[in-house]
Amino acid sequence: MTTEPAGLRERKKQATRQALREAALRLALERGPDNVRVDDIAEAAGVSPRTYNNYFSSREQAIVAAVTAERESRIAAAVGAHPVGTGLADAVVEAVVTQYTDPDEDARDALLLITTRPALREAFVDSAAAITPPLTAAIADRLGAADDHTAHVLAASVAAAVHVALERWARPVGASSPASGLVVPSGSLPDLLRSALAPLRPALDAAENHRPQAPEEDRRT
Amino acid sequence: MTTEPAGLRERKKQATRQALREAALRLALERGPDNVRVDDIAEAAGVSPRTYNNYFSSREQAIVAAVTAERESRIAAAVGAHPVGTGLADAVVEAVVTQYTDPDEDARDALLLITTRPALREAFVDSAAAITPPLTAAIADRLGAADDHTAHVLAASVAAAVHVALERWARPVGASSPASGLVVPSGSLPDLLRSALAPLRPALDAAENHRPQAPEEDRRT
DNA sequence: AGCAAAACTTGCGTGCACGCAAGTTTGCGT
DNA sequence: ACGCAAACTTGCGTGCACGCAAGTTTTGCT
């Protein structure tokens, strides 16, 4: 199912998409993001500017996609491939942390560039939402496909937690709250991810142990 | 703290914001959303078009804001005002459901309009993210302000769950998943919200009880 | 094979978001 | 009371997102 034969059409689309995001990143690195016009990206990828916009709805999205492109599916795969003995919570946390722990050297300067420019930062942080669909599938698979709804909510919550972690990580941290000096000055990304996901563990555990029946359980008014 | 004296400046800003969103909604209802130019909204609110864009970053946002404007703060307030005997989970769920259960008659046709147009639907659904900041404060308050991080993650997760619920509610429901015919055909919004929030209850409970069971992880920065 | 529908690309036009650099208003310290 | 600094508004210019309606390629059906 993950390896569909894929029609010719679909493969062309993926090729175009990849060409676009790679061109976007390459040009952004070469010239600086502000000196890259959409037309340049389109030209470099060999399509019309209009077509570019059929694939990405903003320049930032294309650049960021070069870095985040395959994380979504990798996370889902990692959750699915996790030893069955371990809990769902561990599977999810490890999958996320692993996939966000960048083994990729090329991504270094790209991430530096991204975290520098506000517009790119935002696009990068927002890209966390893209893990929701594949993660929904992976979680639903583990819970027994009956409960799609719960899986969706959990996946979206995980994405939200990742969003929070990325936000904290990519921020110079505005000093607008002088209340307590005990704010963590943004540690390493893996640590931030773990601590952001920690509060969701009980929800993941509960979903796993509780999975027998009715989706809408107790309603106390 | 909720009733700041508020400087003159701040009040003017809020007035302008309100004028803009009300103008946007009124014009959209009168003429249909496609026949409303940004310039029209700005003119109706008595500001320049450029200023309009200092308040809202898209036309859809302004229209939707007329409906969603105060929900954020009301939800936070409702969580804070909840009887201390009840659990955090109940407080949050009830606050959300109550505030999304629309007692407002005026909003009826507005919501009809919004759910009709795809662009507006998306803006409406995305507006759920706006509850995160005030909800973070409210939850942090209940948890004892020490753990801001946890509160933030929980609030973001709640927002994500609301997002899922709104999505399901506002969708004609694409028939792209022919798997099981047992998908709920989108019930009433309160029911959708309750069932979307249900999976998060364990997480909220655990956070409240200070020491969750045994999340084997012991992060200490 | 051959053809018709469906999917994708492309050019064009329109309205828009947003950076920038004045000009104007509010707030605050002395 | 005065004036300076910070915040906000506004006009302008630029690049862009996206609807629309051809034109082109892929696919599925007979």
Torsion of CA B192, B169, A156, B154, to 10 degrees: -50
At B25, the pLDDT band (50, 70, 90 cuts) reads very high
For the segment B32-52, the average pLDDT, to the nearest whole number, is: 96
Q: A19-28, B2-11, B79-88: which has the highest mean pLDDT? A: A19-28
At B175, the pLDDT band (50, 70, 90 cuts) reads very low
Domains present along chain B, CATH in parentheses? 1-67 (1.10.10.60), 70-211 (1.10.357)
Which pair of tokens denotes residue A183? 């704010």
User: Is pLDDT above 90 for A172?
Assistant: no
Can you tell me whether residue A149 is helix, strand or coil? Answer: helix
Nearest to A129 by CA among B57, B122, B217: B122
Nucleotides of C under 7 A from a protein CB: 7-13, 15-20, 26-28
Cα–chain-centroid distance for residue B173? 21
Residue whose pair of structure tokens reads 């992880």 in the numeric block: B217
Question: How does pLDDT run across B63-109, given as a tens digit for each residue?
Answer: 999 999 999 989 999 998 887 778 999 999 999 999 999 778 778 88
pTM: 0.89
Nearest-angstrom CA–CA distance, B126 and A88: 28
C-beta atoms of A199 and B148 within 8 A: no
Helices (H), chain A: 8-31, 38-45, 49-55, 59-68, 71-80, 88-100, 107-116, 118-126, 132-143, 148-170, 189-197, 201-209
Judge whether B113 and B33 are in contact, CB under 8 Å: yes
Q: Is B194 on the interface with A (CB under 8 A)?
A: yes
Nucleotide nearest to A34 (CA to C1'): D15
Nearest-angstrom CA–CA distance, B50 and B38: 9
Nearest to B156 among A146, A163, A184 (CB): A163
C-beta atoms of A153 and B159 within 8 A: no
For the segment B47-59, the average pLDDT, to the nearest whole number, is: 97
Which pair of tokens denotes residue A187? 């540690």
Q: Is A137 on the interface with B (CB under 8 A)?
A: no
3-state helix, strand, coil in chain B (%, to 5): 70, 0, 30
C-beta atoms of A203 and B207 within 8 A: no
Nearest to B202 among A196, A202, A215 (CB): A202
